[in-house]
Amino acid sequence: MKMRYLLIAIVCILLGVQLQAAEKKNVLILNSYHKGLQWTDEIQKGIKTGLNSSKLEKEIYTEFFDSKRFFDASYKQVLVDYLMNKYQNLKFDIIILSDDYALTFLFENRDSLFGDVPVVFSGINNPHIYPSSYTGILEDIKYIESFELIKKLHPNYSKIYFIVDETKTGNIIYDRAFRLYLPEQGEFNYEFLRNYSFDELFEKVSALDDNAVLMLTAFTKDRNNEYCSYDDIIKNLRKHTKLPIYGSWDFYLGNGIVGGKLNSGYNQGLRAGEIANQVLEGKNINEINIEISHSKYYFDYVELKSHKIKRRYLPKSSIIINHPLSFLVENKQQTIFFSIISILLLIIIMILWFFLMLKKRKNNEEIKFRKNLEISNEKLLLAKEKIEESNRLKTAFIANMSHEFRTPMNGIIGFSELLKDDSKIDNETKKRYFEIIQESGRILLNLVDDIIDLSRIESSKLRLNYKEFKIADVLDELLSFIISERDNLKKDNIKILLEKEFDYQNLVIYSDKDRLKQVLHNLLSNALKFTSKGSIRFGFYIESPNIVFFVKDTGIGLSDDERGIIFDQFRQVEDYGTRKFGGSGLGLSLSKGIVENLKGHIWVDSEKGEGSTFLFSIPYKMSPEFKNEAKEKSHESNYEWPNKTILIVEDAIISYQLLTKFLKDCKVSFLHAEDGEQAVKMCNINDDIDLVLMDVQLPIMNGLEATRQIKLMKPNLPIIAQTANAMVDDRANIINAGCDDYIAKPINRYELYEKINNFLQ
């Protein structure tokens, strides 16, 4: 009997342990600041990583107090009421907080809101007297070490300007820096920049002498109570000065500071999460000592190079970001595989090039022989000059092709050697090296294809595959390609615009789709290569019996002499100057051969320094389906919306007048707003508005922000954006802002009628 009772007791104990282990722990995370602030986001990330290091089941609740943007006394009472209502029926096992505002808030309200719940804090840089059941991570900023570092790296500095605002956090930083660490001017020459507006601060730093150094701590609110994020303050400082900037937190790193002894929000949050796990697993919080966060020396290689700071002067334990990679890891089999591919590609290219040059040489010898038999001495001299010019061009072209071959081969062989020789490389870097090798292989294959196509054109053996296809599909695909290429080349200042006529948006033609795409691809690639700012426009128009395609750029343009040779084989604009832009010089010659094989014609309109417009025409046949559709649309003119009111939000009076002209016969009433803020107010007070035509580029408040605010008040009010930006990423931004539809400028009125009719019919 005793044994039976003993077994029953053991089973009960085990069941109790399992039930206890399965019970979820409730965790509340309180953040002093708002979501999206990099410091807060890094702490949040660290806390959750630390919590996830334990297998305990947890239910996590997160609140953001947003105290940098809302900070008056009444707001704190709002927070108390909000938390009381939200969590009155929920008991927490632990509270984790970040930064001083949340800490003082709990000092005043924890017991009344949550009871005697254990508290783990992080990001605290203000000394407090901590009650029982509080522990966590204190932040220790090494101002003296930062100043000593600046003095070492900039021995000729004139003054250190210590930038800190007058918020609660800023006052803590100022008190600790000035009263505890920097009581005298003797060792360091410094000045605090505090009581400024943002504009005054930027004006101040822009006027400092060349030997000054900036020390940025926290400046998120100016004396006018205007708010600025950490990202924006460092970016604006960098815009207004080229002076070296040092910091105390790692969220500035990579955005414009040289570096310094930096504190990490992620590391503090990670440790706070780990301490919370100890408490949740049963350890008494009063037995856990308060810890001091560890800061490390971090530097940005780009800024070091910009300010000519030698790495040997940095502390030995320094961590440098953005440093050029010098090695990667890969296994032997993959290295051998890519090496074999590279060698085979090189052999193929050289064989093709050899046969091409033999053919050229044979043709030139035949021409020279006929000339010697048929023409006079004067013509023989002219022929000799042409042959010498041809040889010069061939020599230049061979040198160019050698460069074009060797550049990707250098990437393939060089990175393959790195992959083979180094066995201590992480997988992410290894993946990047493979991508470089693959891209170099694709470049070599494209060169082979160009040489083969040129040979086929010269031998009249170019094959064409005629079929019906939709022009819009080809142009949209090319738009995505050229935007991607622009982003890869970091030419974000160039606008890419596809111009399509509304009446021909469904046009179907009978031609070789792939060859047509190849020509447009070459022209767009050239336009992007030779354009450094401005725009690239492309599209088509009908000029019966042909369809004409065009690519217009704001690049370097062409002189009269260059226009005469631009489509010749082995000729490039850069023959006349330095080879700044690269390329094989085959693209335009191939394009000319393809267009002529399609029974078309290619030409260029250009002036030096004014950009270029490349055009080509090919025959087309309009499909019967398109003809019927175009005919039907031309008679759709009965668009009327009596008793409806449209709000036109447009700051340009000409554009407003044009829209009213378009809609004057539609029996619709108009209201006009000249900026986004006025539009929001009108929609708020006027319930008779049935539709909004919203311009995107507006003063005071832009159209996208106005749309967001209107949709919060009236989610069912249709909004059609009108914009001159027709790129893919612009369209996505318009829809994401809440617009129901959009129409690109210049506006086609029939397209406008159709879009309005979708919402007002």
Average pLDDT taken over every residue of the chain:
82
397-428 residues labelled b (16+ CB within 10 A) or e (exposed): beebbeebbeebbebbbebbebbbeeeebeee
**Does the pLDDT of residue 524 top 80, yes or no?**
yes
H helices of 296-376, in order, are 301-306, 332-374
> What pLDDT is attached to residue 618?
93
**Cα angle vertex 285, ends 282, 290, to 5°?**
140
* pLDDT higher at 630 or 242: 242
The span from the CA of 41 to the CA of 19, in Å, is 35
> What pLDDT is attached to residue 574?
47
> What pLDDT is attached to residue 402?
55
Task: Name the helix (H) or strand (E) containing 386.
Answer: helix 377-421
Indicate the pTM of the whole model. Answer: 0.43
Token code pair at residue 697? 């580029």
* pLDDT higher at 365 or 738: 738
* pLDDT higher at 386 or 229: 229
The span from the CA of 686 to the CA of 671, in Å, is 10
The span from the CA of 239 to the CA of 256, in Å, is 10
Side chain identity at residue 437, one-letter code: I
Backbone phi, psi, residue 217, to 5°: -110, -85
* pLDDT higher at 260 or 422: 260
CB count in 10 Å sphere of residue 127: 10
pLDDT digits (tens, 9 = 90+) for 392-415: 656 655 655 554 565 566 667 767
Q: 494-499 and 319-321: which strand pairing? A: unpaired
> What pLDDT is attached to residue 83?
95
> What pLDDT is attached to residue 11?
52
> What pLDDT is attached to residue 66?
92
* pLDDT higher at 652 or 623: 652
* Burial class of 445 by CB neighbour count within 10 A (0 to 12, 13 to 18, 19+): middle
Report residue 345's pLDDT band, with 50, 70 and 90 as the boundaries: confident
Q: How far is CA 29 from CA 40, 44, 135, in A?
A: 11, 8, 15
651 in Cβ contact with 693 (< 8 Å): no
DSSP SS3 for 47: helix
DSSP SS3 for 104: helix
Long-range pairs of 182-188 with CB within 8 A, sequence gap ≥ 24: 182/143, 182/144, 182/147, 187/147, 188/147, 188/151, 188/160
> What pLDDT is attached to residue 377?
61
The span from the CA of 666 to the CA of 753, in Å, is 9
> What pLDDT is attached to residue 584?
54
